[in-house]
Amino acid sequence: MKRISFVLVAALAASAALAQSTNGLKLRIGGIYPLESQTRKITGNMIGVGVEFKFPKSLLPNGETFLNIDWFGKSAGGAKGNMFPFMINQRFFPDPRQDVGSRTYFFLGAGFVNMDVTTAKTVYGGRAGLGKELSDKLSFEATLTVSTDANKAKANSLGLYIGYQF
């Protein structure tokens, strides 16, 4: 429980700092399906909650660079079965002529995942996904998150999210 609290406090501090320097904050909520049977035995299907901070300037042309901080959990009570991906991502818009609020996109990201499934351990991770803007504020995303092994558990999972852009 102390580790989960520490990670959440660190995430909130990072959120506050980044919110001051960026012009894009997005909150996402959805469902997570772990792909690894060993992990799924412990966690079952999970809740996914995430926050994204868009950088003021993209690292690559025709896209957006953002930091995502997520929580995948089986319960809010702090029991084993939590994952915290922290990743730098690049969002690409295949058709730059589409208007904001109706664009489709894909993204790739890399970073770390704090795994608290069997025991707490931080491992390398990555993510990829497809998304569709439903309006200038709402979006829908399908994601794939992967990680290296953390004591016989991995963050390899599929997620479906609804997001709200502030």
The pLDDT of residue 152: 85
The pLDDT of residue 5: 47
Which positions ≥6 away from 144 have C-beta within 8 Å?
127, 128, 129, 157, 158, 159
Give the total number of structural domains in the chain. 1
Per-residue pLDDT tens for 83-125?
999 999 999 999 878 898 999 999 999 999 999 887 889 999 9
pTM of the predicted model over 0.85:
no
Question: Is 70 exceeded by the pLDDT of residue 78?
Answer: no
pLDDT band at 1 (very low <50, low <70, confident <90, very high): very low
**Inter-residue contact 105 to 130 (CB < 8 Å):** yes
The pLDDT of residue 83: 94
- Between 43 and 161, residue with greater pLDDT: 161
- Between 74 and 157, residue with greater pLDDT: 157
CATH, residue 43: 2.40.160.20
Domain of 107, in residue numbers: 2-165
Q: Which of 18, 165, 8 is nearest to 100 (CA)?
A: 165
Which residue type sits at 25? L
Per-residue pLDDT tens for 14-73?
554 554 544 689 999 999 999 999 889 889 999 999 999 999 999 998 899 999 999 999
**Inter-residue contact 70 to 84 (CB < 8 Å):** yes
The pLDDT of residue 15: 52
